[in-house]
Amino acid sequence: MLPSASNTFEALKLISDWAKWLVTIETGALVVFSAIMTSSKRLVPLLAKVLLCTTFLLSAIVVLPPAIFAGVDPTTVYARAFAVLAAEPYIKKGFHVREDYWPGDLASGERKAVRQQLFKGNEYWFWLGTDVDHAKVSVHIYDSDGKLAEQPDSWAKGHCAAAHIIPKTTSTYFIIVSVEESPAAHTHWALGYGFR
């Protein structure tokens, strides 16, 4: 569960975005339904129209929602909400948050490397979130030679951690996500980033 109203608000904003797609598709289904039902041409008998429209609507109700939400990993929704919450102060400072993110789960003591191309002249923040209470997570950035490349203002607190980098060269960097301690067998996490 999310412990505060601001966290709940962030999670609801994510759900709202997904619901907009559902409403758009269902609106399209209603337009097609109306077009078939109000057709003045006698090419399709009334019974056929009713059967066709019923089949179409049932298909829209049953098939479309799972298709829409197929790309949404429900286990990392709250983890992503915490990552977005960690990004909020940086958005106010002019950072542009990318919509793509990396989700996953790790056991206590495990790490995951994420490879990312970063460009000289930009400044980046990577935000890690988890939904597991009392989990200790961290994120660190290494260059292609394996040297720590992040700025000293990187941090970890509560459900979140963040790493800051101003690349000296355009290159591939490795963002290491780590679950240092966790009361859960597997800790769900989400990593997002922004730049300016």
Tens digit of pLDDT for each residue in 28-47? 766 766 666 666 555 556 66
In this structure, which topology does domain 74-195 adopt according to CATH? Jelly Rolls (2.60.120)
Q: Which of 122, 190, 123, 184 is nearest to 161 (CA)?
A: 190
Give the pLDDT mean for 68-74. 59
Tens digit of pLDDT for each residue in 133-184? 999 999 999 999 999 999 999 999 988 999 999 999 999 999 999 999 999 9
Indicate the pLDDT class of residue 55, thresholds 50, 70 and 90: confident
pLDDT of residue 2: 37
Tens digit of pLDDT for each residue in 87-120? 999 999 999 999 889 999 999 999 999 999 999 9
- Is residue 136 helix, strand or coil? strand
Indicate the pLDDT class of residue 76, thresholds 50, 70 and 90: confident
As a whole number of angstroms, the distance between CA 36 and CA 94 comes to 50
- Specify the higher pLDDT residue, 31 or 188: 188
Cite the DSSP H helix spans in the chain: 5-37, 46-68, 77-91
Minimum mean pLDDT range among 76-80, 83-87, 128-132, 136-140: 76-80
Alpha-carbon dihedral of residues 35, 36, 41, 45, nearest 10 degrees? -170
Give the pLDDT mean for 72-92. 84
pLDDT of residue 100: 86
List the chain domain ranges: 5-71, 74-195
Alpha carbon 45 to chain centroid, angstroms: 47
Q: Is the pTM of this model over 0.75?
A: no
